[in-house]
Chain A
Amino acid sequence: MKWNSIQTKVLAALVACLVLGVGGILALMQYSFARNSQALALDSVSGSQKLFAILENREISKMIAVSDGLIMNVQIRDAFAAKDRPRLLALAAPLYPQLKSEGITNWMFHTPEPDMAVFLRLHNPAKFGDHLNRIMDTEIVRTHAIVTGNELAKAGFAERIIRPVYDSQGKVTGYVEFGEELGQFIHAMKGQTGDDYGLLLSKKFVDRQFWADSSATLKRRDNWNDNPSFVVADKTTAGDDILRFNGDLAAVPDEGTVLERYRNGNSVFIRGIFPIHDVAGRTVGAMFVVRDISAVYLEMRRTQIVLVLVIVVSLLLGMTLVLILLHRLVFKRLHRIIRVATRVVGGDFESAISVTSDDEVGQLEQLFEQFRQVFVDILAQFTVLQEKQ
């Protein structure tokens, strides 16, 4: 192969185009793959956040329905209006185990303003008379309408509803409150999705001593010192791998964010986090989510590989086709012209060029054949002249 031949140059140009084309396509597909992976990961975090919101709304509806039934109970209403704690406890206590089995872990009655103290805790009857001074308390005193939302108490984070209780004259006799620990939500979410979750609480909103006491009561390890800025309220995994986070919970965007994508064996996971706000809109916690995206991720990767192979093979076939066409239409015919010209000069005056087409090379063949005939004629005349001399 001659390096300065047109054939070589065309081949080099085609190879360069192939390399550039494949390189460009690979880069484009890698970019597209990275974007799709990120979108998939974000969608996973977003999906978990939506599921959490759905569970929140469902449980709020449930607690409102329970409270509707409760305030219809005249005996309970009267006992509360009379501030007869033993009678109220006797009436309500039989109901509490059933509510607890339905996830309602907190049930409280509060005295009306201005005192606004805890009158009775069904989940801890011995403790009463304290003032919680929470945002929900302030809000219901202001509106006398149902207030719902997440409220971080000293020892834990719960979704709560609080509503006024009226006597027969329509006077507010106090408030009743129901709550569900948010920690139990993550287990319900895991049951529905198979994903793993971890619930964090910002230490700024949790009382240290209360956390230690509640840890002892619940017989869980006091994990206060595990992280500098947050405590793990609950998680669905045995290990703490999903809880690695060094950022500021307050800086986590409302729509959540993807922390990382990682492999574990043949599986691909994404780990994300989304914030949890309290009733005042403050970021008091966050939820980690770990989702196995292997099926979609690996399918995307497989599609990418197939596409790259198809494109490379197509380009190679196209390049081969161009080379074959060039060889048949141009180079092969040019070589024949050169061969005939060489033979004519070598003395074979009968070698003729057959015109195979009327294309550009065909015109050259025709021209050369005419030239050859003129040349042979001149040589014949020259030979005759030489013989005469």
Chain B
Amino acid sequence: MSQLNDLKIRIEEKIAADGLDPVATRGKIGLKSGRLLSFINATTPDDPAAIAKMKIAIKEVLNINV
């Protein structure tokens, strides 16, 4: 299971739960993390640096710790 994909799922859950604009929210996180969320799926290989940047981006945009 890809950790990046897990993070992506958490993001989608949060967007749905809070009724956020999905495109704008994904865009902000993508710009901050340097990864396009559209291209993350279950087979995406885990990269510790990419995971760390993604967590920071999630914290900054959605204000949640993952």
Contacts and interface: CB of A to CB of B under 8 A. Distances in A.
A348 B27 CA distance: 9
Q: Is the interface of B mostly helix, strand, loop or mixed?
A: helix
Contacts of B39: 382
Contacts, number: 36
Contacts of B27: 341-348
B15 to A, nearest CB: 10
Nearest to A386: B39
Interface string B22-61: 1111111011000011110000000000000000000000
A160 to B, nearest CB: 100
Nearest to A338: B31
22 contacts: A341-B27, A341-B31, A342-B28, A342-B31, A343-B23, A343-B24, A344-B27, A345-B26, A345-B27, A345-B31, A345-B36, A346-B22, A346-B23, A346-B25, A346-B27, A346-B37, A347-B22, A347-B23, A347-B26, A347-B27, A379-B36, A382-B39
Contacts of A382: 39
Contacts of B38: 347
Interface residues of B, number: 13
B31 to A, nearest CB: 5
Interface of A: 339, 341-348, 379, 382
A384 to B, nearest CB: 13
A273 B11 CA distance: 88
Interface of B: 22-28, 30-31, 36-39
Contacts of A348: 23, 27
Q: Which 9 A-B pairs have the closest CB atoms?
A: A346-B27, A342-B27, A346-B26, A346-B23, A345-B30, A345-B27, A348-B23, A347-B38, A343-B23
A347 B24 contact: no
A63 B26 CA distance: 108
Nearest to B38: A347
Nearest to A340: B27
A54 B23 CA distance: 93
A382 B36 CA distance: 12
A170 to B, nearest CB: 120
Contacts of B30: 345-346
Contacts of A347: 22-23, 26-27, 36-38
A347 B21 CA distance: 12
Nearest to B31: A345
A382 to B, nearest CB: 8
Of A339, A341, A346, A379, chain B has the most CB atoms within 10 Å of the CB of A346
Nearest to B22: A346
Contacts of B31: 341-342, 345
A7 B53 CA distance: 29
Contacts of A342: 24, 27-28, 31
Given A342-B28, A345-B30, 9 more contacts: A341-B27, A343-B27, A345-B31, A346-B22, A346-B28, A346-B30, A347-B22, A347-B36, A382-B39
Contacts of B22: 346-347
A236 B28 CA distance: 87
Contacts of A341: 27, 31
